[in-house]
């Protein structure tokens, strides 16, 4: 009976979010009250529930809600789980969300995006609860995707400005890497366990140890993918630079999202999967080493930041690095206490930061005394100055990530001039038809030939999506290339056994619907606005709010967000890739990373940012 209450913690924020969507924009009181009572009731119920749970002996709770799809060994089901880790994250999350809704009621009064802000906060809180209550990777990944989109929307809240939109896209690019790392962990997990493993099963030491001993490299791969996902989500080295950029949103959203709750989700993931990797010494050294390095670099960077938000961001990164070390040492309880303390402190610091800045400015005007500086030319002084400059430049992490991750993709994309609308219609569509014909008549071809084809087809899809990511002139072509990428991926996986027509329909139905909706909106918008390319921000949300919302839904559907069957289809795709097909896995993983970036790039450039028409007000570049 007590397990049934777990569903309430997801249904309440979902109901609050759906209710707030239909409230008129101008009714600020009702909008804020829905958010206020949703978070408040959740917090009260969480306190009562956890109190009773402790009273009855704090048993581990697991409830299998329902099966979404099942085919052979593959089963996609929603599973909820509750233990000490869930209790702490649920309690801290509900209290801080409740606090932020109270603060935001007055902070954002008369703000143009008042309703949009509270909708996004409730949407974020829904994703957060799904994650902390998830009983398996698939359920957790649903919340993970919701959190990623909420992040993009909150950073780009001031969507008429250049820098918030640009930074929102940059943060989304990091999140996309984390998403694919999570999918790869799920992929290898399917091959290790041969079923959808639950977190309850991971607590069975005998079962886990037996599988790890038999498949050591598989276990190491899963653990490393989980670690990469965690360090990206928690802004640890070398992905630390995205967190200060994420502070472009409103202060209360920065407080709840990037200093207290969302940034600690990487910590939650490591704690939740600890029974799986605790006996892999190499993984523990990696977690501790990354945490130590992140803590040192972030501490140095935080001391030289010129803005309060950046100081708080790097201070939070440093503390999370210490929490990583505690987790690596097996100090679970200490890590949970540290998480709660860091979340409360950073939230408080950001909420009072406007008052603190005002006070410091006044003090500086009347009591400022310049610091005397003497350069004695000593080695220690040179080292101090070098560290200072590197800290000011944030250790150039942002530059290195761009240079080694995104620059090569752009460089390749510039060489793909042969992919045009004509070549798409007259070369690649017939080639795709030939691929289908070979698939249907595969028994007439040598096995060596058919085994090589998935790599060829997946590589064509990758070229399509790289071209889409770098296309600057033809918006519709860029959009269609992403859709065709999914078709090539589907054809590549079709040559693997057991991937049947039903799986194809599940995967591609959401893609087709989203692609047609997006093309229709783009063509209509091009007809009305005449000029439309991807060289600049157009800001069409000013005059086309309905089209903006529909195109955003189309972009989510095409990227595999859990609003269409493509979300399950992506998991199906990876479940049918063999464990020895690493090259195929890498190609498809890169395709899915870049396709999400290409879609958000189209959405951002066409609908967000400063309006290209000069009779609209042009906002400052930054908030």
**Is residue 484 situated within a structural domain?**
yes
In DSSP notation, 533-584 reads -SSS---GGGT-HHHHHHHHHHHHHHHT-TTSTHHHHHHHHHHTS-TT-HHH
The residue segments making up the domain with residue 373 are 366-393
How many domains in the chain? 3
Is residue 341 predicted with pLDDT exceeding 70?
yes
Residue 56, C-beta contacts closer than 8 angstroms, at least 6 positions apart:
2
CB 220 within 8 A of CB 283: yes
Q: Count, in order, helices (H) and strands (E) of the chain.
A: 27, 2
Token pair listed for 5: 């209450």
**Is residue 621 situated within a structural domain?**
no
- Measured CA distances, 491 to 438, 453, 459 (Å): 10, 9, 11
**Is residue 434 situated within a structural domain?**
yes
Q: Is 550 left (phi over 0), alpha (psi -120 to 50) or beta?
A: alpha
Residue 514 confidence (pLDDT): 94
What value does the mean pLDDT of the chain take? Answer: 87
Q: Are residues 169 and 71 in the same domain?
A: yes
Q: Are residues 165 and 313 in the same domain?
A: yes
Q: Are residues 123 and 14 in the same domain?
A: yes
Token pair listed for 572: 């199906």
Residues 276-303 have pLDDT tens digits of 999 899 999 999 999 999 999 999 998 8
Residues 170-209 have pLDDT tens digits of 989 898 888 889 989 988 988 888 888 889 888 888 888 8
First to last CA, the chain: 49
- 366 versus 249: the higher-pLDDT residue is 249
Q: What is the dihedral of CA 132, 135, 140, 141, to 10 degrees?
A: 180
Residue 166, C-beta contacts closer than 8 angstroms, at least 6 positions apart:
609
**CA distance linking residue 81 with residue 63, whole number of Å:** 7
Residue 623 confidence (pLDDT): 45
Token pair listed for 541: 């949300």
Residue 232 confidence (pLDDT): 92
**Is residue 619 situated within a structural domain?**
no
Q: Provide the whole-model pTM.
A: 0.92
Residues 571-599 have pLDDT tens digits of 888 888 888 888 999 999 999 989 999 99
Residue 458 confidence (pLDDT): 93
Q: Are residues 548 and 419 in the same domain?
A: yes
Q: Are residues 381 and 433 in the same domain?
A: no
Smallest Cα–Cα separation from 75: which of 86, 84, 66? 66
Average pLDDT, integer, range 320-327: 96
Q: Are residues 267 and 247 in the same domain?
A: yes
Q: Are residues 266 and 280 in the same domain?
A: yes
Q: Are residues 575 and 497 in the same domain?
A: yes
Q: Are residues 514 and 385 in the same domain?
A: no
Is residue 12 predicted with pLDDT exceeding 60?
yes
**Tokens 């001031």 — which residue?**
158
**CA distance linking residue 569 with residue 499, whole number of Å:** 11
Residues 37-73 have pLDDT tens digits of 999 999 999 999 999 999 998 898 888 877 877 776 6
Is residue 621 predicted with pLDDT exceeding 60?
no
């Amino acid at each position: 009976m007590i397990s049934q209450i777990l569903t309430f913690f997801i249904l309440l924020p979902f109901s609050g979010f759906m209710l707030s969507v239909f409230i008129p924009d101008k009714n600020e009181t009702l909008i804020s009250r829905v958010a206020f009572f949703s978070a408040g009731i959740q917090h009260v119920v969480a306190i009562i529930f956890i109190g009773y749970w402790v009273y009855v002996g704090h048993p581990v709770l697991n409830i299998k809600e329902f099966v979404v799809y099942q085919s052979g060994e593959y089963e996609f089901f929603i599973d909820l789980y509750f233990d000490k880790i869930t209790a702490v994250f649920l309690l801290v999350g509900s209290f801080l969300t409740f606090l932020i809704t109270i603060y935001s009621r007055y902070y954002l009064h008369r703000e143009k995006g008042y309703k949009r802000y509270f909708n996004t906060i409730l949407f974020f809180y829904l994703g957060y609860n799904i994650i902390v209550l998830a009983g398996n990777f698939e359920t957790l990944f649903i919340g993970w995707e919701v959190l990623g989109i909420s992040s993009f929307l909150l950073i780009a809240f001031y969507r008429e400005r250049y820098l918030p939109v640009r930074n929102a896209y940059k943060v989304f690019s990091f999140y996309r890497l984390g998403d694919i790392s999570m999918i790869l962990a799920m992929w290898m997990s399917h091959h290790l366990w041969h079923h959808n493993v639950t977190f309850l099963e991971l607590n069975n030491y005998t079962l886990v140890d037996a599988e790890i001993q038999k498949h050591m490299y598989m276990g190491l791969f899963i653990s490393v993918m989980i670690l990469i996902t965690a360090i990206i989500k928690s802004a640890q080295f070398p992905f630390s630079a995205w967190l200060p950029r994420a502070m472009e949103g409103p202060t209360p959203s920065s407080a709840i999202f990037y200093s207290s709750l969302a940034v600690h989700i990487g910590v939650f993931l490591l704690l939740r999967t600890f029974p799986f990797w605790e006996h892999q010494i190499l993984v523990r050294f990696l977690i501790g080493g990354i945490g130590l390095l992140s803590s040192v670099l972030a501490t140095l960077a935080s001391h030289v930041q010129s803005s309060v938000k950046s100081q708080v961001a790097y201070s939070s990164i440093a503390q999370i690095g210490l929490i990583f070390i505690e987790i690596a040492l097996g100090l679970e309880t200490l890590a949970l206490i540290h998480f709660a303390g860091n979340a409360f402190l950073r939230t408080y610091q950001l909420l009072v930061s406007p008052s603190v800045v005002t006070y410091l400015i006044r003090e500086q005007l009347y009591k400022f005394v310049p610091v005397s500086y003497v350069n004695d030319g000593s080695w220690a002084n040179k080292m101090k100055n070098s560290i200072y400059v590197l800290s000011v430049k944030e250790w150039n992490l942002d530059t290195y990530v761009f240079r080694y991750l995104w620059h090569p993709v752009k460089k390749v994309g510039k060489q793909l001039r042969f992919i045009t609308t004509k070549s798409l219609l007259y070369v690649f569509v017939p080639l795709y038809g030939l691929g289908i014909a070979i698939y249907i008549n595969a028994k007439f071809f040598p096995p060596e030939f058919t085994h090589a084809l998935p790599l060829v087809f997946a590589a064509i899809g990758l070229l399509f999506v790289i071209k889409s990511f770098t296309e600057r002139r033809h918006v519709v072509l860029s959009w269609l290339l992403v859709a065709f990428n999914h078709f090539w991926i589907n054809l590549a996986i079709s040559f693997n056994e057991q991937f049947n027509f039903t799986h194809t329909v599940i995967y591609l139905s959401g893609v087709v619907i989203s692609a047609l909706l997006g093309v229709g909106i783009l063509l209509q918008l091009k007809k009305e606005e005449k000029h439309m390319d991807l060289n600049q921000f157009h800001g069409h949300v000013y005059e086309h709010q309905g089209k903006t919302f529909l195109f955003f839904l189309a972009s989510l559907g095409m990227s595999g967000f859990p609003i269409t069957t493509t979300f399950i289809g992506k998991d199906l795709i990876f479940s049918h890739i063999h464990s020895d097909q690493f090259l195929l896995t890498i190609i498809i993983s890169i395709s899915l990373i870049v396709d999400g970036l290409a879609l958000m790039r189209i959405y951002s450039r066409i609908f967000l940012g400063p309006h290209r028409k000069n009779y609209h007000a042009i906002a400052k570049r930054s908030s």
